Amino acid sequence: FDMARNIRFSTRITSAAYDEASGGWTVETEDSETFAARWLIMATGPLSSTHIPPFPGREDFTGEVYHTGVWPHHPVDFTGKRVAMIGTGSSGVQATPVIARDAAQLTVLQRTPGHSWPARNRAMLPGEQEAVKARYPELREYWQTLPGATFFRTLLTDDPIVPGTGSAFDVSDEERLAIFERAWDYGGYAVLRAFSDLVTTEAGSLLVNAFIHEKISTIVSDQETAEMLKPRQLFGTKRLILDSDYYETFNQPHVDLVDVRSDPIERLTQAGIKTRDRQIDADMVIFATGFDAMTGSLSRIDFTGKDGIRLADVWQGGPQSYLGMLVSGFPNLFIIGGPQSCSALANVILANEQQVDWFCQCIRDMLDRDNRTIEPAPEAQTNWVEHIAELADASLYTKADSWYLGSNIEGKPRNFLLYLGGYPAYRARCEKVAEEGYEGFVLEPA
């Protein structure tokens, strides 16, 4: 597509200021270079600013240090090394079996055990890829009708779970168990589709908890370790983790699990990690400690909008936006995959495409109608923010701490950061807004 000539690599933006006179933006790089633009589109990513908790003594540790979110492009050799890894979200859980393969010793420091389900990744069967590609237009249309716009295999071949609309309590215990077992053997997110109430009601959620607890007890030989690995929060309060032999890995003699909830990390030392009760010597420390999600990359840029207002001040108590795409007081500033849109809750490719298409149409419409700027009306923005909170309060998501709520970052206000109404409803709402002449937006004539 000959894109390279339009891309400037290795360029970090430090500030962006709206200019009332021109109705556009000036962005400044860390090298004090400036660029002017009428429209500014932030594609800075929902899970792109990594987070390392401020453990004392970080500089004292003399071994290798990595974060799972900024993994080096060169291979990292674990062979014969003592590795300590902090964090058991998707990143930590998926890294554990891989590191254990070569390391001499792996110590996993876990604060909150998550729900993990086998991924069962596999090579494509002969002809499978061709069969999918032959049906792309049809499949893409179909995915657009699903809450997460997410690819799954039901339409293709062997998915054993027919999307269920009924309650998990409508079937007998035996039948439910058989469905859970099929979903376990098949792997991936199939279980989420089995019944309507597994992630929406406490009673449904506890059924999955019981199933996973049983699996962990069966897989993990040492029952003390098994107990530590069992998730206690409700299923559906965080993203389901998918793994390849995570629980099995703890049966290997050189792999240890440390519960840092009961034995907290005090500091890093020259030789490794000091918890209250033990010293873990390590050649390598890996932070699998996640991200300053949804707002982290935006908050690292100093945005100044109309009348000198700063985005940092407007968002002090949590993000404010209309449709997760534009912010009142910051005209012509578009955010892709931003807070209060579907973003990380939907198929990222389709969700990004939908927003990019919307922005492009919006810009074309503005040029056609001779409008200079667009920004949300304050009232529409307030209503959207309230709508986000209402949807979240009706879900289980607010019942545990996670990056969805910003509560993984010290001092970050606790707000649910995504739109929970599902991708089809979000897309329909965006289309309706545009069709109705950008209802809820203020368009300034040139």
Residues that bind ligand NA7 (CB under 6 A): 47, 53, 68-69, 86-92, 111-112, 239, 260, 265, 288-291, 403, 408
Give 219: exposed, middle or buried? Use CB within 10 Å, 0-12, 13-18, 19+.
middle
- CA separation (Å) from 110 to 93, 263, 264, 288? 10, 10, 10, 10
How far is it, in rounded angstroms, from Cα 272 to Cα 154? 47
Residue 398 Cβ, how far from ligand NA7 at the closest point, in Å?
Answer: 15
The distance in angstroms from the start CA to the end CA of the chain is 33
Residue 47 Cβ, how far from ligand NA7 at the closest point, in Å?
Answer: 5
Contacts 24+ apart (CB under 8 A), 125-131: 125/157, 128/156, 128/157, 131/156, 131/157
C-alpha dihedral (162, 168, 170, 175), degrees to nearest 10 = 70
Report which residue's Cβ sits closest to ligand NA7. Answer: 89
Q: Toward ligand NA7, which CB reaches closer, 259 or 375? A: 259
How far is it, in rounded angstroms, from Cα 83 to Cα 80? 9
How far is it, in rounded angstroms, from Cα 256 to Cα 295? 34
Contact between residue 374 and residue 441 where contact means Cβ atoms under 8 Å apart: yes
Residues facing residue 29 across a β-bridge: 13
Q: Which residues contact 234 (CB under 8 A, 6 or more apart)?
A: 202, 205, 206, 209, 396, 399, 400
Q: Toward ligand NA7, which CB reaches closer, 293 or 335? A: 293
DSSP-derived 3-state class of residue 266: strand
Q: Toward ligand NA7, which CB reaches closer, 290 or 329? A: 290
